[in-house]
Each structure stands twice: as structure tokens, then as C-alpha cells.
Amino acid sequence: MKLSKNPIQSADSERETIIQKQIHALRKEITDWVFRDSSLNQNKKEIILRTNTSANFFEHFVLKRTDVSAIDSRLKFFSLSSERLEKLYELQPTRTTFQKQTFLIRKAIVYLDTMHLIAQRLSSIAKSKDIGERKDLQLEVTILIDEVNRIVSLAEYNNFRLFEGDFAKNSRVASMWFINEKNGELFQVYLATMTARSLGLTSSNGNPLTLSSPILFQKKIEEAISKITEERNRMQSVLN
């Protein structure tokens, strides 16, 4: 029998719809600003981005014309993540314990998939032939690495952060246990730390990778892709 949608999840789905509409409107606003007659508008534009429908989740920055491509890249990934979460909230019931377990893992996979796509984009930037001529590429790198941390900061289930290390194998903070649906036995589920720093996308002092050494940059990105892929495969194995 098909279960009816959980009303709480419906509210979450609506939240993601609001976020997507905001991003769509913002991208259109930026495009209109860029292509309008340059004599009629300034070279800078104030942007306010709502990253969550809860209070105080806003980002404020001043956009330059040279920054548009980098900002739009982030907005694309932001929108993609929100769109996939919206579908998950609509399609995945969370009435039983087993359904909640499945939902948590699938939600984690949505975030991991977005991080993987971001890492792939960073990899393609490293291979760009005009890397030394385009300053906006370094800006895009910095912005996308920041987007990874934004994802990690919002990736949660019942107010528990999924990828900040609380549920990693070496964590002394918390543990997560699932029930095997077939035999009723308990088994522990680990969630690796997936911050930009843990993925090697920032230095120990928090500075993002730079394109000053493309070979080293590419090596770091490949390592990050490998870590994300490994974690994604582990999460999928829990579902299987």
C-alpha cells in the first residue's frame, strides 16, 4: 500500500521550492544586469542570497561584472542540490524506522553527489588552457570550495550534522545505529567528515587551493573526488 506523504517532509519540499525560485530569479536578475546597456548601470551590484528559509541564513556580497561566471557556477550547484532534495522529500516516505533510515542515507547521497559534481568542475578548471589569463577561474575555485563547506554546514537530519565528523569512525562525540530490516540486528553506520579541509581543498589555516600550481591542484582535486566517490559508494552499500 502506498504511504501518504509525511506533512513535515512536504514542508521541507516546499522550502526547497522557495530556494529554487529565489535562485532562478537571482540568476535572471544578474543576467539582465550584465546584458543591459553598460552605460545605464554600474559595474557592481549588491546581491543578497538566501541559503535557507530559516531566519538569518543570508549571504550578502557585492558582485562585479568580472565575477558573474564564478557566482553563476555556484548558483547552479546550489539549485541542483535543492532540486534533488525537493524530489527526495516528495518521494521518500518517513513513517517507519526503516523508511527514516533510507531517507537519511539518500539525503546524504544527494549532498555527496553535489560535492562530486563540484569537484569535477574544479578538475575541469585545472585543465583549462587559459588558466593564467582568467582571474575569474581562481574566484570560481574559491567560491565552489566555499560551497562545499556550505553544503556540509546544512547537511543534517533531525538537527544532527551529517558530515562534520560527529559520525566518523574515529568520533568520540556520537554514533549512529541502524536496524537491519531482514533480521532485526543492529549495525553501526559511519559518515566520514566531508568538509573542504578534510577533502584537502583548503590548507590547515583555511585558505582555499589556488591555481598557481595546476599539477598540484589537479592532484588534490583527484584525491577529493576519490574520497567523495568512496563515501558515496559506502552509503549506497547501506541501502543495498
Is 7 domain-assigned?
A: no
Q: How many helices (H) and strands (E) does the chain have?
A: 5, 6
One-letter identity of residue 74: R
Rg of the chain (C-alpha set): 20
Is 166 domain-assigned?
A: yes
Question: For every one of its 240 residues, what pLDDT tens digit does the chain have, with 9 covering 90 and above?
Answer: 333 444 554 688 888 998 999 999 999 999 888 887 565 557 888 888 877 766 567 777 888 888 899 999 999 999 999 999 999 999 999 999 999 999 999 999 999 999 999 999 999 998 887 776 677 899 999 999 999 999 999 999 998 999 999 999 999 888 899 999 999 999 999 999 999 999 999 988 889 999 988 889 999 999 999 999 999 999 999 998
Domain count, the chain: 1
The SS3 of residue 77 is: helix
The length of the chain, given as a count of residues: 240
Is 30 domain-assigned?
A: no
The span from the CA of 156 to the CA of 103, in Å, is 12
Is 57 domain-assigned?
A: no
H or E element in which residue 232 lies: helix 214-239
All three cell numbers of 19, joined, read: 530556494
The span from the CA of 94 to the CA of 98, in Å, is 8
H or E element in which residue 173 lies: none
Residue 194 is classified by DSSP as -
All three cell numbers of 216, joined, read: 598540484
List the CATH number of the domain containing 215.
1.20.1330.10
Is 12 domain-assigned?
A: no
- Residue 30 contacts residue 22 (beta carbons within 8 Å): no
Is 151 domain-assigned?
A: yes
CB atoms within 10 A of CB 188: 10
Residue 204 is classified by DSSP as T
Is 128 domain-assigned?
A: yes
* Host domain of residue 111: 69-239
Is 138 domain-assigned?
A: yes
Over residues 61-94, the pLDDT tens digits come to 888 888 899 999 999 999 999 999 999 999 999 9
